[in-house]
Amino acid sequence: MALTPDQILAAHKANLETLMGLTHKAFEGVEKLVELNVAATRAALSDVSTNTSAVLDAKNAQDLMSVQSSLLQPMAEKTAAYSRHLYEIAASTSLEFSKAFENKAVEAQSKFNEFVDTASKNAPAGSESAVAVMKTAVAAANNAYDSVQKAVKQAGEVAETNFNTITNNAVNAAGTVSAAATAKRR
């Protein structure tokens, strides 16, 4: 099965379009990351100004400790929110790349199956067992690929669930510590 120049040109064009699309998605991800970091930096500078004023206004050590404990919960929440946004950007960009690679893999798998079918139809007499072995190997490879894809998706879902659980636990722990510190001073 020989490829014609038009088929080769079409394949190169499709690959170039995929590359350009992925490049665009990568830049979108970087752009979102820069926006997130600028917003986080702006908020941090504002918080530093406000918190410095609160610390300087403290009259004694107890007031200073009160200010410090009151800052713990909001800082934990902001850190968790930043982490969530960062994770969402990374997951979104990764999903786009995964979809593109998955589509290309399905396309390649389809073309290979066509090749095997064409080769088996044109195989010389007496090679039926070799063709059957080839088809079985292709089917096994396809099943293995599908299993790996499912496992990767499940691992991603587990990682996302764990990330959310850890983030929520950290925010809750900071709130508990802050509340305990405030109650202890009273």
Phi then psi for residue 122, to 5 deg, are: -100, 5
pLDDT at 2: 61
Q: Show the tokens assigned to 85.
A: 């946004």
Across the chain, where does the E strand assignment appear?
Answer: none
For 76-114, the pLDDT digits (tens) are: 889 888 988 998 998 888 888 888 888 888 888 888 778
pLDDT averaged over every residue in the chain: 83
Residues across the chain: 186
Q: How many CB atoms lie within 10 A of CB 182?
A: 15
For 126-179, the pLDDT digits (tens) are: 777 877 787 788 788 878 877 877 887 787 778 778 777 887 777 777 677 666
Q: From the DSSP assignment, how many helices (H) and strands (E) are in the chain?
A: 3, 0
Are the C-beta atoms of 145 and 109 separated by less than 8 Å?
Answer: yes
Are the C-beta atoms of 33 and 89 separated by less than 8 Å?
Answer: yes
Are the C-beta atoms of 131 and 120 separated by less than 8 Å?
Answer: yes
Rounded Cα gap, residues 185 and 33, in angstroms = 40
Give domain limits for the chain: 5-185
Q: Show the tokens assigned to 19.
A: 């590359």
pTM of the predicted protein model: 0.64
Q: How many CB atoms lie within 10 A of CB 80?
A: 19
Q: C-alpha distances in angstroms, 56 versus 64, 75, 108, 178, 186?
A: 9, 19, 66, 20, 21
